[in-house]
Homo-oligomer: A and B are copies of this chain.
């Protein structure tokens, strides 16, 4: 072959100017029906495909949204992306999806790449390692629209789509208390992730409201590995004053907890009750089924796009960063309720 067919090739063949071809292809007015037909037919015959890079370059917009998530392997992220994509397509945009694998370095290079003219705006959920936010403020200074979802940076003024983590943790713990738990542990995620901190607040709030003491030794930080949760549970359960309820920051970790409890022959929910977050499909197939906080993944995706497009397509000078806080929903299953 050699090279792709261009507008120029068609123009030459038809003895017209490239401008004319361009007009025909884009269905603009002011073109003779015959010329147009000629162009379209040849374009079809030659399987002409417009070069998006060229178009984007001259229009200085790409009709593409950049997505940065920690890990596509997480149900949460792949599902949100599915809904982001749906909304984007509907609005005539494509997606450029990247992942950081929870690495700050990778986040840096991804941001940089995307900000080199590849996308009109970026939707991001921060890596676990990220505690320096200069790369993000730099983006904003350069005028590149940015929307956070889930894992955000509290200090940055930007559009954000969050769930009410504090409230959902509060409700989860309250649920445990109502089911008889007196001593509730919290397996939190990594320490510097905003989501964990917000949930801790809700956890504490519920305990205090019920007149239960907050025991710092019952709050354990960790990574996102199942095995860490497993060993932490072992430790937790070997103390003399062991918990009768556990709030776990994610379903993944919850499975680590269940594994440990099974090893220790501690029954769930009879001896210990558990609630976790995300409501992944696995919650309903594992035994015992897991009570989990369900997040509105469709809305998170849809609204992220909405807020980003609002910035991108703003006709009117400024756009105020808008923060959406969505409600969650506790899905009660076996792991937290008495067997009947």
Contact = CB atoms under 8 A, between A and B. Distances in A.
Interface residues of A, number: 47
A50, A53, A138, A287 interface centre (most CB from chain B within 10 Å): A53
Contacts of A57: 51, 53-54, 57
Number of copies of this kind of chain in the complex: 2
A72 B81 contact: yes
A265 to B, nearest CB: 15
Contacts of A54: 57, 117
Given A1-B143, A73-B82, A78-B78, A53 B47 contact: no
Nearest to A94: B113
Nearest to A115: B49
Interface in A243-284: 255, 258-259, 282
A1, A138, A259, A285 interface centre (most CB from chain B within 10 Å): A285
Contact of A78 (B49, B73, B255): B73
A116 B62 contact: no
Given A73-B75, A73-B82, A117-B4, A95 B94 contact: no
A287 B285 CA distance: 9
Contacts of A73: 75, 78-79, 82
Interface of A: 1-4, 47, 49-54, 56-57, 60, 62, 72-73, 75, 78-79, 81-82, 85, 94-99, 101, 112-113, 115-118, 138, 141-143, 255, 258-259, 282, 285-287
9 contacts: A49-B115, A53-B53, A53-B62, A54-B117, A72-B97, A73-B79, A94-B113, A95-B98, A97-B97
